Amino acid sequence: MIAPQSLLSRRTLLLSALAIGASACSREADAPASAPADEGEAAPPPQAAGDLPVVALLGDSITAGYGLPAKDALPAQLEAALAAAGTPVRVRAAGVSGDTTAGALARVDFSIQDDTDLCVVALAGNDLLQGIEPATMRANLVGIITRLKARNIPVLLAGMQAPPSYGAYATDFAAVFEGIAGDHDLPLYPFLLDGVALDPALNQDDGIHPNAAGVKVIAQRLAPAVAGALAGD
């Protein structure tokens, strides 16, 4: 196993990871107030918030909305994107900035509530920065998924990318997500930052965390995968 190059800064490491990911992934009108009985049944009333499916985002600073107000963070923007696409849900934030797969495994039982209809597991960026062995990261992710499945909570796995300069480490890192998705019959969203990584217009000044516009892109691209997972596709 080849460990990450120790002379590179943390920021350089993540920007490199984003680079490979970026290159790899280049209502109807309102009804009348009243209608004749022979025109069919009236539209059902809007669902109350308590009746909506619940989607939880288990992740790190990207899902936690680092540097952004709550209204611009991924939970709020994903909820808006799904509603606009005709899949109204409640999206719960369960992201902790700086979290690794090990940290999420330690808190998954209390961070994800029992009424969750789908958990999006979006981790591993910090594992990459810390040079955590892919086998360890895989074991942590499998532990998270196993605990969620034991509670009958479906999972959508969101992947991250490692730079090819990491050699065998990058190969093993990339294989983790597809391997887990295949072994555990999970839907996979290959790269959480697809369409956003390395675009200055879509990222904050650190070049790592998406700004509000970048989060909107993530939400719009992720929404169909979430809707499909909720539908069992």
Catalytic position from the list 109, 115, 183, 206: 206
184 catalytic residue (yes or no): no
Q: Return the exposure string of 167-181: e unless at least 16 CB atoms fall within 10 Å of the residue's CB, then b.
A: eebbebbbebbeebb
Catalytic residue among 16, 111, 127, 209: 209
Catalytically annotated residue among 61, 99, 127, 172: 61
Question: Which sign does the torsion angle of CA 69, 223, 145, 158 carry?
Answer: negative
* Residue 61 designated active-site: yes
Q: Which of 177, 160, 207 is nearest to 12 (CA)?
A: 207
Asked if 57 and 95 count as a contact pair (C-beta separation under 8 A), the reply is yes
List residues with catalytic annotation.
61, 206, 209
